[in-house]
Amino acid sequence: MPDLLLRIVLHLASFAIALYALEGIDFARFIRKGRTTQATILLFLLSMALGYLVAQFLLMLAYRYYF
């Protein structure tokens, strides 16, 4: 159970950090006018993917180091 809780917290934290980091990029230059909903969805999906990759990397490091 603690392992599952650690995974959930780590995935949520890495998602939040990835979303915060991606908001620093000016996507307005790359998005067509009137497509703000699609840009928001793209930002959300990119942050989910980046957050997942970071969390998996950190979990792999933790498991290799401790086990």
Q: Is 90 exceeded by the pLDDT of residue 21?
A: yes
Q: pTM of whole model > 0.75?
A: yes
Residues 29-60: tens digit of each pLDDT: 888 888 888 888 999 999 999 999 999 999 99
**What's the structural domain count of the chain?**
1
The residue type at 24: G
Domain that holds residue 30: 2-66
What pLDDT, on the 0 to 100 scale, is given for residue 60? 93
What pLDDT, on the 0 to 100 scale, is given for residue 67? 67
